[in-house]
Structure 1
Amino acid sequence: MLDPHRLTVFRSVVASGGVQAAADNLGMTSSAVSQHLAALQRETGLTLFQRAGRGIVPTEAALVLDAQSDAPLGEWSRLDQVVGDLRDGRSGRLTIGYFASAGSAWMPTLVRRLSSEYPDLVLELVLNEFEQRGPRPDIDLVIDPPDTPPPAGHRRVRLTEDPFVVVVPRDHPLAGAGEVALTDLRGETWVSNDLPGAVCHRIVVAACAAVGLRPRFSVQAQDHHTAIGFVAAGVGISVMPGLAARGLPGSVVRLAIAPPAPVRHLAAVVRQLGASTAPAERAVQLLQDLIAHPSARRR
C-alpha cells in the first residue's frame, strides 16, 4: 500500500523540479526527501526519476503517477480534515464550488444563513471557473446544458435559467429601448466579459451566429466587473448574463435581449454524501429560495 506522505514528497519533487527545491518547500532535509523517493520507487517497482546533468527529471511513469494520485490524495486530505473536525468538536465540513457572478449574488447570504443554522459546520468555498486539482466540491454550481448527465456519485439539481442582457452607456442611442435584438448591435464595439474559450463566451458567439452576426470584440476584459467599467467609460457595449449585471453604476443601462436571446442554464451538482446530507440539502434549498425570492438577499 502506498504511503500518502511519500506520495506528497514525490509530488513536491515533480512540481519543484528537484530534490533540494522540494526539501526547501517542505521544510525537510534533502537526504530525507531522497530517502522517501527511494522508498517509493521500491514500493512501486518503478523508475520515477532519471539523471539529467546535475539534476533529475521525472520519467513518463512518474508523470502518470503524479497525475493519477491527484484525486486520491485530495480524498485523503478531505478525510484528514474530517478527523480534525471531529477532534475539535465540529459537526462536519461542506465545500461549495461557485462561479463569479453566483459568488457575488448568492454566496454571502447563503453562507450567513447556513452558518447560523449549522454553527459547527466548516464551510469551504472554491471558485470553480478555473481547473482545480483535487476532489470535486460537495456542491458545485455549474453552467451546463440541462440534459448534461451528472458525474458518477452525484445528482443534478436545476437552479434557474439566466438570460443574457446588453449593458450600454447611459448616453447610448439604444439606452432607452428597454429591449433590443442582437442584430441591433451590429457595428458596435463589443467588450468581452469572459475568457475566449469559456462557456458564457461560447453561448454569446453561438447566439450571434444564429442570427448572422459576428461580434467585433475590441476589448477583452475577461470578467464582468472590468467589462462594466469599460462600458461606463464609453468604450463599447457588453453582452453578459443577467446575474452578472446586478448593481450597475448609474453611468450604464442594462437592456433585455429579444428572442432568440442567449441564455445559460444554472444547476447544482451535488455529491451523494451518505448519511451526512442535511447541510448539503439545506444549502441547495437555501439557494433555490434565494433564486425564487431575490429580495431575501437584502434581508
Structure 2
Amino acid sequence: MLDVKRLRVLLAIVEEGSVTGAAAALGYTPSAISQQLLRLEREAGQPLLDRQARGMQPTEAGLVLARHARKIVRQLAAAEADLADIADVRRGSVTLGTFPTVGSSFLPLAVRRYRELYPAIELSIESGREDRLVQMLEEGRVAMSLLWDYEWQRVDNDELVLTELFTDPTVLLVGATHRLARRRTVKMADLADEQWIIRAGGHPVVEVLRRSALAAGFTPKIAFHANDYQEAQAMVSVGLGIALAPRTATVNQHPDVRVVSLGDTAPPRRVLAAHRAGRVRGAAELALHDVLVDTAARYG
C-alpha cells in the first residue's frame, strides 16, 4: 500500500525540481526526503525519479504517481477543511422545535446569542403543540425540541434524551385594581372566594389550578374559558376573574394586569431540551444545545 506522506514527498520533488527544494517546501531535511523517496520507490516496485546533474526528472511511473498524488493531496485538504468547518461551526443548518410561551420569552434570547456566535448557521424553528413536537422529533423533522412537563405527568419516552433547562413557576394574574394587586406573594389558600379564568380545551394549566385548589381546600369557581393567555389577561384586566399562568406566558403583559408570586403553593413546570436517542448530532446542533443551556442558566 502506498503511503500518503511519501506521495506528498514525491509531489514536492516533482513540483520543486529537486530534493533540496522539496525539503524546504515540506520543512524536512534533504536526507529525510531522500529516505522517504527510496521507501516509496520500493513500495511502487520501480524507479520514480531519474537522478541527473541538474536535479531530478520523474520517470513515466513517477509522472503517473505524481498526478494521482496531486489529486489525493487536494482531496485530503478538502476533507480537512470540511472537518474544520464542522468543528468550528462555520456553516451548516439546524432545526429546532418550540412551543408558544417559551417561543415568545426564553427562546428569542437564545436565538440572538446563537446568531451572534454562529452567524453562518442556518437556524430554522418550528412551533407547535407538544404532541406534534414529539412526533417531529421521532420523525427527524427537527434535530431538537423544547418541551415541558409537570411533576405528575413527566415526559416518558425512551426514544428521547432530555436536558432540563429551567423551572418555569406558576404565577397568579390579577387586575391592576384587585385587592391583591400590590402583593408580591400570595398563597392559594387566600384565593378560595375568587372567580377564575381558565384556558379552554383541557389545557394543562387547568390541571395546575385543580391540583393547587384541592391542596388548598377549595373548588375553584370558573367565570370564563379563554382560548389563549392574551384573552385570559384581557378578562383579568377588566376584573372578570383571576388566572394562573406559567411565568413565561407573562412576557407580553397586559398594562392592567399584575403578576403575583404563588411561592410553592402552585406547582411549576420543567422546560426541557429534547433530542432523539442514538441520533448522530452535528456540530451546529451541539452548539445550539450549549447555547440553550447557557442561556437558561442566566434566565429568570
TM-score class, shorter-chain normalisation, is 0.5 to 0.7
Match of 1:230 among 229, 235, 257: 235
Distance 1:237 1:145, change over 3 A: closer
In the TM superposition, residue 229 of structure 1 has moved relative to its aligned partner by 1.6
Structure number with larger C-alpha Rg: 2
Mapping of residues 1-299 of structure 1, within 5 Å: 91-129=91-129, 131-132=131-132, 135-136=136-137, 137-145=142-150, 148=154, 151-192=157-198, 194-272=199-277, 274-294=279-299
Task: Give the aligned residue type for 1:112.
Answer: R
Over the residues paired in the alignment, what is the CA RMSD in angstroms?
2.7
In the TM superposition, residue 169 of structure 1 has moved relative to its aligned partner by 1.0
Query: TM-score, structure 1 length as denominator?
Result: 0.60
Distance 1:159 1:249, change over 3 A: same
Task: Give the aligned residue type for 1:294.
Answer: Y
Q: Percent identity?
A: 25
In the TM superposition, residue 156 of structure 1 has moved relative to its aligned partner by 0.6
Equivalent residues of 1:178, 1:255 under 8 A apart: yes
In the TM superposition, residue 253 of structure 1 has moved relative to its aligned partner by 1.3
Paired with 2:130 and 2:297, the residues of 1 have a C-alpha distance of 28
Paired with 2:180 and 2:131, the residues of 1 have a C-alpha distance of 38
| Partner-residue secondary structure (3-state), 1:261 | coil
Paired with 1:92 and 1:151, the residues of 2 have a C-alpha distance of 28
Paired with 1:145 and 1:173, the residues of 2 have a C-alpha distance of 30
| Partner-residue secondary structure (3-state), 2:197 | strand
| Partner-residue secondary structure (3-state), 2:102 | helix
Equivalent residues of 2:229, 2:249 under 8 A apart: yes
Range with bigger deviation, 247-256 or 95-104? 247-256
Equivalent residues of 1:150, 1:269 under 8 A apart: no
Paired with 2:215 and 2:148, the residues of 1 have a C-alpha distance of 20
Equivalent residues of 1:177, 1:255 under 8 A apart: yes
In the TM superposition, residue 270 of structure 1 has moved relative to its aligned partner by 1.8
Paired with 1:272 and 1:208, the residues of 2 have a C-alpha distance of 38
Paired with 1:149 and 1:143, the residues of 2 have a C-alpha distance of 8
In the TM superposition, residue 293 of structure 1 has moved relative to its aligned partner by 1.8
Distance 1:254 1:148, change over 3 A: closer
| Partner-residue secondary structure (3-state), 1:135 | helix
Paired with 1:143 and 1:130, the residues of 2 have a C-alpha distance of 8
Distance 1:220 1:265, change over 3 A: same
Render the CA deviation track for 1:98-126: whole Å, top value 9, x for unaligned.
12110111222322332343334332212
**Count of equivalent residues:** 205
Gaps of 5+ in 1: 1-89
Equivalent residues of 1:200, 1:264 under 8 A apart: no
Paired with 1:213 and 1:122, the residues of 2 have a C-alpha distance of 51
| Partner-residue secondary structure (3-state), 1:180 | coil
Distance 1:200 1:285, change over 3 A: farther
In the TM superposition, residue 254 of structure 1 has moved relative to its aligned partner by 1.1
Task: Give the aligned residue type for 1:223.
Answer: D
In the TM superposition, residue 272 of structure 1 has moved relative to its aligned partner by 4.6
Distance 1:151 1:131, change over 3 A: closer
Paired with 2:295 and 2:200, the residues of 1 have a C-alpha distance of 27
Equivalent residues of 1:204, 1:262 under 8 A apart: no
In the TM superposition, residue 273 of structure 1 has moved relative to its aligned partner by 6.9
Paired with 1:222 and 1:94, the residues of 2 have a C-alpha distance of 32
| Partner-residue secondary structure (3-state), 2:169 | strand
Gaps of 5+ in 2: 1-89
